Chains A and B, each alone.
Chain A
Amino acid sequence: MIAVKELPKKFGEFGGQFVPETLMNALIELEREFIEAREDNDFQQNYKYYVKEYSGRPTPLYYAENLTNKLGGGKIYLKREDLNHTGAHKINNVIGQVLLARKMGKKRIIAETGAGQHGVATATICAMFDLHCEVYMGQEDMERQALNVFKMEMLGAKVNPVTSGTGTLKDATNEAIRDWVAKVEDTFYVIGSVVGPHPYPTMVRDFQRIIGDEVKEQILQKEGRLPDYLVACVGGGSNAMGLFYPFIDNKEIKIYGVEAAGLGVDTNKHAATITKGSMGVIHGMMTYLLQDDNGQIMPVHSISAGLDYPGIGPEHAYYHKIGRVQYQGVTDKEAVEAFQYLTRLEGIIPALESSHAIAYLMKLAVNTRKEDIIIVNLSGRGDKDIHTIRKVLGGQGNEE
């Protein structure tokens, strides 16, 4: 077999490498190592070993019978990414990237995090492999997600508060890039989503596609056929891309990405990048983003810190542009309702991010036929969000 020398840098007009020159050789080296790893049987076996033995894959594809009966439409299956070690799909990608860092001999790992899930996953894998780990996190997010900060510190990571800009995920990402520019020679930057300069969107997709690959096998086993609908939430979009990608060429399957509509897409407090954004450059990629007329990136809002991002992965931007995936908004309020709904009906507490997917499912399912099959990616569990939910619902023990 002839080895691939280079991967496509763009998805249509999206993606690319809009970064300082200082990083360019590092990206070229990363791409080369990644291409090698892709075709290296030992690397792939190693990746499969850790996602299985350490993180617990394959995750179940659970037939949500109560939810199905209640909504009265097609059969609903939940892909249980929440059952991964550290509680979300994030670890799939971190295992892949850290194995790559080890292959490249990099000893210092950095990451950005919003809600803290990617940070915790990175700190976890670095603890296991005994690597120095620093996580950039917005000051505001550190306050909102104090428990995850503590977890990362317990795991031996250093959490660097980011006060620049709006003090949230986009600024943490800027700061991680700035760190990488300064220390590019010994540092590996583990990006947490299908965002950033090439090859990150492709690489993260490849480490997350195990979600969709498993789903394909599982649904064929259970139903003897492929699904009719796929639903997943989209911030940067890694859990969605992981589920969607293996089905992209199955044109008969309808695919829905669910964005955070915050307080509503007609307010200025949302993170509905596709619905309301326009083309531009953020974090080294050409994509859709929320910006003003002068190209200044706008503050975003979502009740879920994991969807609180003004951009979106370039491959999603491309699937939107060609009409392959439909992107829909779900508000904070709808997400909170879906959170409670799933918790009560199935005894599964979803992350607020995943609750957005459930909320859209609730609208979608009623319009489907009983013989249809719908698969929703339950990307993470809701333990980290209990505090937020308690505040919203004004429950007892609310200390704020």
Chain B
Amino acid sequence: MKSRITKRFELLQAKQEKALITYITAGDPDLNTTQQLVLEMEKAGADIIELGIPYSDPLADGPVIQRASQRALAGGANIDTIFQLVESIRRDTEIPLVFLVYFNCVFKYGLERFLNKCHRKGIDGLVIPDLPLEERSELQNMMQQYAIDLIPLVAPTSEERIKKIVANASGFVYCVSSMGVTGKRNSFDVDLAGFVDKVKKHTNIPAALGFGISTPETVEKLKNQCDGLIVGSAIIEKIEEGLKDNTITENVCSFVKKLDEAKNIA
């Protein structure tokens, strides 16, 4: 069975469009806001939504997403309430939903139990930033029966590892577009076109770029080098700007609209 992610990419490819993948941390600043943001971001042009499960020690994340995590945890979000949120979101939309989750949260919850819940509540893919190739086989084997994509991360340093990483991958490949943690970059020190080409040599599934993509200009510049673009920290900053005067949804949506327009410039 094809996942919602695969179907969405096929639809976009038929229209010769790229996927706009937007990230927010679930529960930042509260779960109701997250629900509203998911639905509104979809209307504003997001094709796939990544929901971060807040974690005390997010070592692949920069300060912006760390702050989002802390706000979400302070607001009381946890895995069970986030599953309830997903269930509730699924009543209103079929947009592909991906969890970005650190491995300890999955492990502590129980691998089988976590996957089972993801499947039943309507999660389509998992990005686990601290679960490299060497550690993923147990989870990957379990996932096959649930039709959930384990979205692998490939880094600019991966080189000869790429082939093994993308073997048996489904959904899309998350190409880490810069060294370091998540967050804004002024420039990219990686030859991104060459990097994506290397990935594409070994797989037919879509390749999305993420880490450091923060403006519509960057989206426009990079869109021809990949199948999808992932924006996270820059959206969290729009949430932060809206915290005081309660303009979170407006801020985020007008930004996502701009990203969507940038992606669709011919």
Residues of A at the B interface (CB closer than 8 Å) are 9, 16-26, 164-165, 170-171, 174, 177-178, 181-185, 278-284, 291, 293-297
A56 CB → nearest B CB, Å:
36
Among B56, B130, B157, the residue within 8 A (CB) of A284 is B130
Contacts of B147 in A (CB 8 A): none
Question: B109 to chain A: which residues have CB within 8 Å?
Answer: 294-295
Contact B104 A291, beta carbon cutoff 8 Å: yes
CB pair A280–B104 under 8 Å, yes or no, is yes
Report yes or no: B181 in contact with A165, Cβ–Cβ below 8 A: no
Name A289's closest neighbour in chain B (CB-CB). Answer: B104
The interface of chain B, by Cβ under 8 A from chain A, is 55-57, 59-60, 62-63, 66, 73, 78-79, 102-109, 129-135, 152-159, 161, 165, 176, 179-181
B59 near A177: Cβ-Cβ < 8 Å: yes
Note all chain B residues with C-beta closer than 8 A to A9: 134
Q: Do residues B57 and A24 form an inter-chain contact, with CB atoms below 8 A?
A: no
Can you name the residue of chain B whose Cβ is closest to the Cβ of A182?
A: B180
Residues of A close to B153: CB separation below 8 A:
20-21
Closest beta carbon of chain A to B115's beta carbon, Å: 15
A27 to chain B, nearest CB (A): 9
Q: State how many angstroms separate the Cβ of A136 from the closest Cβ of chain B.
A: 12
Q: Across the interface, do B55 and A22 meet the contact criterion of CB distance under 8 Å?
A: no
From A181, A283, A291, give the contact of B180 (CB < 8 A). A181
For A18, A22, A26, the residue with the greatest tally of chain B CB atoms inside 10 Å of its CB is: A22
Show 29 residue pairs from A and B whose CB-CB distance is below 8 angstroms, ordered by the A residue. A18-B103, A18-B131, A18-B132, A20-B60, A20-B129, A20-B130, A22-B155, A22-B156, A23-B157, A24-B134, A25-B159, A165-B66, A171-B57, A178-B59, A178-B60, A178-B181, A182-B179, A183-B180, A185-B157, A278-B108, A280-B107, A284-B130, A291-B104, A294-B79, A294-B109, A295-B55, A295-B104, A296-B105, A297-B57
Q: How far is the CA of A185 from the CA of B190 in the complex (A)?
A: 13
| Closest Cβ neighbor of A28 among chain B residues | B161
Residues of chain A contacted by B155 (CB below 8 angstroms): 20-22, 24
- Whether the Cβ atoms of A281 and B133 lie closer than 8 Å is no
Q: Within the assembled complex, what's the spacing in Å between the Cα atoms of A293 and B109?
A: 8
A171: chain B residues within 8 A (beta carbon): 57
Q: Given A18-B103, A24-B161, A295-B105, A181–B60 Cβ distance below 8 Å? A: yes
